[in-house]
Every structure is written in C-alpha cells, then in structure tokens.
Chains A and B, each alone.
Chain A
Amino acid sequence: MILIGERINGMFKDIREAILNRDPEPIRYWAKRQFERCAAFLDINTGPTVDAKDQPAVMEWLVKIAQETVDLPCCLDSTNPEAIEAGLAVHKGKALINSTTADQWKMDIYLPMAAKYGAAVIGLAMNEKGVPKSAADRAALAMEIVVNADANGIPMEDLYIDPLVLPCNVGQEHGPEVLEALRQIKMLADPPPKTTMGLSNVSQRCADRHLLNRTFLVMSMAAGLDSAIVDLDDDALLDAVAAANILLNKDIYCDSFTKTFRQR
C-alpha cells in the first residue's frame, strides 16, 4: 500500500501560518513525522489562502524544505498548473502530480508535463460535469485518462486513477460505486493503472471519522486500491492497513506484522 501523507497542506492551520510567516519548522516537523510513519509520498498543497500568483513560489519553497528534511518524493497537489510545474522543477526523484481530471484541456496540460519531468500523475475520474454517479461512468472517464496517458508515453505504473470518494453523509450511494469502479479500473489495461483516493474525504463532517476512514480503506484495498492520501497520525488506520496487507497476501505474515509494516 502506497501511503501519501496528507498533512503538508495549507488547509491546516499550522501549515497555513508557516506559509504566511515563511517558517520552515512546521513543514520540517510534518515531513519527518510522516516519513517515520511510513509515508511513500508527501502531499504538498499550498492551500486556498495563497494567491494564485504566489502559489508557484510557495510550492517551490514547500517542496525544497520537505525534500531537504527527508528523502521522500512529493505529491504536488494544486489546481494551478504553474504551481505544479514550479514544484516539478525543483523536485528530486519521481514526483506525483495531483492531479488532472478527464477533461481534455487539463489532460493536455498535465500529461505532457508528467512526461517531460518523468513524473507520475493522478487522474481523477471526473470532468467539468462533475463526479459521476455510477461505477461505469467513473470507469469510462478513467479509460479516457488511460488512453491519453498512453498516448503521452506514460507507463501505467505511473498513472494513479482516483475514482473519487464523497463524504458518506452526503453521497452515501457513492460508496459501493467507488468500490466497483476500483475493480473495473483494474481491468482497463494490462498492466493496469494504479489507483488512489483522498481517503479522508469519505468522512468529512461525520462522526467517528477514523473508524469510517480505516473501514473504507480496507474495503477499497480488497477492491484494488494501491494507494491513498491519508492521515498517517492515525495509528488504528496503519494497523488496519498492515492487517489488510497480510489478509490480501501482499505481505508475508509474521507475529510482529503491525510493527514491521511501520519499518522503512
């Protein structure tokens, strides 16, 4: 399971203030902490309060600090292509672009950018019409991304399709559709694209968020989820992933499985 740490995001108060004051300490703290809690990527998001014109510089600053602190690739998370490219330009190793949708004009920006920088890319199974209701419509949009990625020479192992999960208190009917979409996405190509999701979205404004998150994560893993953007401070979630890795025969069992899962 490829875990992407969600914490370096301007949505969080400490990161927002760090960006405002250009204080690298909170960035360093979360880079290190998420590294120690087995992140494979650090999600980097400037957050909504940074002006569009400042986003490239902030993205560059965040990526540099994160990668100076730990040896991890970043998941460059922005709706602003200039911010993403600014991050790519200073990034060491294989970055993950977060994200393109299935809209042709967006794919025409991000997929050549991924190819140019040798980056991986997340493709959201949605377009300007919004998030599809059914699994089949999600898979259809995923297929468009698969075809376009292939045309840009991006190997399937570098394409992460996100079937888009909605908060279960507003879009409860999407849950099973997302699970079915994961199964279908795995059949779109051989080798298949990878899959990912912004997990915490499933529990926005819900009670017992940790329980909902880890339950849906385990269900999704069984349906073909390879990766997720998660709260790595959630110990029960890490335990659940460790257990699912064993039960899905991805990791070889040993008595210390929850501990070995956390070791790098």
Chain B
Amino acid sequence: MAVTIAKEKWTSQVSELVIGTEPNVVKVGGEAALPFLHFEGRIPHRPVVALEVWDMEPEGWPAVLTSAFEGVLNDPVAWAKKCEEYGADLICLSLLSSHPDNKNSSPAECAATAKAVAEAVNRPLIVVGSGVEAKDAEVIEAVGEALSGKNCLLGCAKPENYKTITATCLVHGHSIIASSPLDINLAKQLNILIMEMNLAADRIAIDPLVGALGYGLEYAYSIMERARIGALTGDKMLAMPVICFVGQEVWKTKEAKSTAEEAPEWGDQVRRAILWETLTATSFAQAGGAIMVMRHPESMKQFRAHIAKMMEPNVY
C-alpha cells in the first residue's frame, strides 16, 4: 500500500551564521525545516562541535577527561592546538580566570590569551567570559578589540551587559551569543534589544542555557523546539542558530564524574561519561542545536557519527 508522507509547509527559515574568516569559516543555521527532516526543507549545514579550552587549569575534572589533554591543561595555546589536532570545528575559549573568585585576570590579560590562541590555530573562535556580567562586559570588550576582524562569536550577552558586548561586536566585526536562562520570552526580547542596536539577525546565536541529560535537558529541549517552530513560521526574532554549552553541564554530573569503584552498578566510567556527553549533544541536535560546545574528543567523534547518519538526505 502506498504511504502518503505528511509534509509540513514552513514559511520561513533560520538565519545563517558565519564564524571565522576565509579559508577557515564555519557556517551554521539556514534550516528551512525541523531538524533532519530533509524532505520538508533545506538543511544546508550540519551541527558543528566546538571543543572547550580554558585559560586556567581546571580543578575537579575527572581523569577520563583530563587524560585526553595531558600536559596542555595549563597552557591555553597548547590546549587549543590539541583540540585542532582532534579535529574540532571551532575552539571555544572560556576566560574563567577572569572570575573574581578565580584569578580575577584583567581584560588586557584575557585579550592577550585570546590573541595568542587565535594566532596559534586555524579554527574559528568562540570566546566567552566567566559569567560575571559586569566583568564579562570589560573582558569581552578587550577581547573583541584584540581579535578585531576575525569574525569570532563572543559572549555571553545577558540583559545586564548586552550593550557593551553588542557594541564590541559591531565595531570589531564579531557575532554575539545571547544568553537567557531557559526563558523563551526573554530570549526573544534580548534578540530584539540587540537588533535594535543594529547588529544584524545573522550575527546572533541563541544560548538557551541547556541542562545535561537527567538534569533538565527536556526544559531546554522544549524551548528550542518552540523557538524553532516559531522561526519556521515567521518569527524573525527567534530565527537564530542555537549554541548549546553541553560540556560544562555534563562534566559536573555524578554520572560523568563517578568512577566505577564509586558507582559499580553504573559500569565503566569512560564509556558512561562519554555516552552522557554524546547523548546530551545528540538530543539537542534533534531540537535544532547548531553549535555544541563539548569537552571530550571521543564524545565529539561519537556525536559526529550520529550527525553524519542524520544528515543523509531522506527525500520522499
């Protein structure tokens, strides 16, 4: 019996975000259909992976994770090169040393680190601050200037600091990450505020603040789903690609951190931790996530194997 494939008709599409400069550019977004439903509309770009690099040596990371970066965790340039070697699409530099409770590094120090990393690798750069709004504004302002013209993705902009970060992006030719805490209305409003400063819609990535598998993943998932349906039906204020900070959420869960001795019923930690990060990322790809910021190179590899399958055209 012939099966009629029900096709949804969409009227609009997600904007296309370009990060980096030729020949090292990454393009995301541009979808004219829900994730991987190639038969309903064009899906021009696969979801990409940014591997995370810190500007200070992380504490409390499990050996499963640190072993992949042996000898480079205290050197952001070497760490970034390692990520490039692993084949990351982008490098995500987290300037956590700028946090007042960490080293409280100055904006100038952060800018110098960002510049050194940018010069050492041939990958587009995402640079984010420590999450302290006022400090991030100062840090990203300096970083944006130091990386002028490199078309990086800078963040994370929140209602408290979006003005400075947007201005930096405008002046120095970068794109912005607009962060909102699991709140679609706030996400939309923040995009509007940023666009009112004349930064184009195709220079914004939405960060909906995702949770890890088992830790509220479904909240972010449903927000991303609703925003995407809005985007495809003409809501231009939500039609931006979504960035998911997967690694930072996954690697603080007990499922990723507990050793097999601590939790024998959960089995081998390496397999479990990597699966946790992979599954969190693949779930968000299914909800429309375009950029996955991850930590473990093996999770990236497994995520990509899944994406390669999902990107096979399914035309009816």
Contacts and interface: CB of A to CB of B under 8 A. Distances in A.
A256 interface: yes
Task: Choose among A253, A254, A263 the residue with the greatest number of B CB atoms under 10 Å from its CB.
Answer: A254
B235 A251 contact: yes
B244 interface: no
Contacts of B189: 254-256
A150 B227 CA distance: 34
Contacts of B235: 251-252
Contacts of B184: 252
Given A252-B235, A256-B189, A260-B188, 17 more contacts: A157-B9, A251-B230, A251-B235, A252-B185, A252-B188, A252-B238, A253-B185, A254-B185, A254-B186, A254-B189, A254-B192, A254-B237, A255-B185, A255-B189, A256-B192, A259-B192, A260-B237
B115 interface: no
A7 B203 CA distance: 37
Contacts of B236: 263
B226 interface: yes
Range class of the B interface residue count: 10 to 19
Interface in A147-172: 157
Contacts of A263: 236
9 contacts: A251-B230, A252-B188, A252-B226, A252-B230, A254-B192, A255-B189, A256-B192, A259-B192, A260-B188
Contacts of B230: 251-252
Contacts of B227: 252
A260 B239 CA distance: 13
A259 B189 CA distance: 11
Contacts of A157: 9
A255 to B, nearest CB: 5
Interface of A: 157, 251-256, 259-260, 263
Nearest to B184: A252
A157 B184 CA distance: 29
Contacts of A254: 185-186, 188-189, 192, 237
Contacts of A251: 230, 235
Nearest to A246: B185
Nearest to A253: B185
Contacts of A256: 189, 192
Nearest to B192: A256
Interface string B220-257: 00000011001000011110000000000000000000
Contacts of A255: 185, 189
Nearest to B227: A252
Nearest to B196: A256
Interface string B113-139: 000000000000000000000000000
A232 to B, nearest CB: 18
A12 to B, nearest CB: 30
Nearest to A251: B235
Nearest to A250: B233
A39 to B, nearest CB: 15
A252 B237 CA distance: 10
B162 to A, nearest CB: 14
Interface in B91-109: none
B226 A260 contact: no
A254 B266 CA distance: 43
Contacts of B188: 252-254, 260
Contacts of B185: 252-255
Counting from the closest, the 6 A-B pairs by CB-CB distance are: A254-B188, A254-B189, A253-B185, A252-B230, A255-B189, A256-B192
A40 to B, nearest CB: 11
A256 B196 CA distance: 11
A157 B238 CA distance: 25
Interface in B169-196: 184-186, 188-189, 192
B95 to A, nearest CB: 30
A224 to B, nearest CB: 17
B242 to A, nearest CB: 15
Contacts of A252: 184-185, 188, 226-227, 230, 235, 238
Contacts of B186: 254
Interface string B257-298: 000000000000000000000000000000000000000000
A260 B190 CA distance: 13
A226 to B, nearest CB: 13
A72 B40 CA distance: 26
Contacts of A260: 188, 192, 237
B13 to A, nearest CB: 16
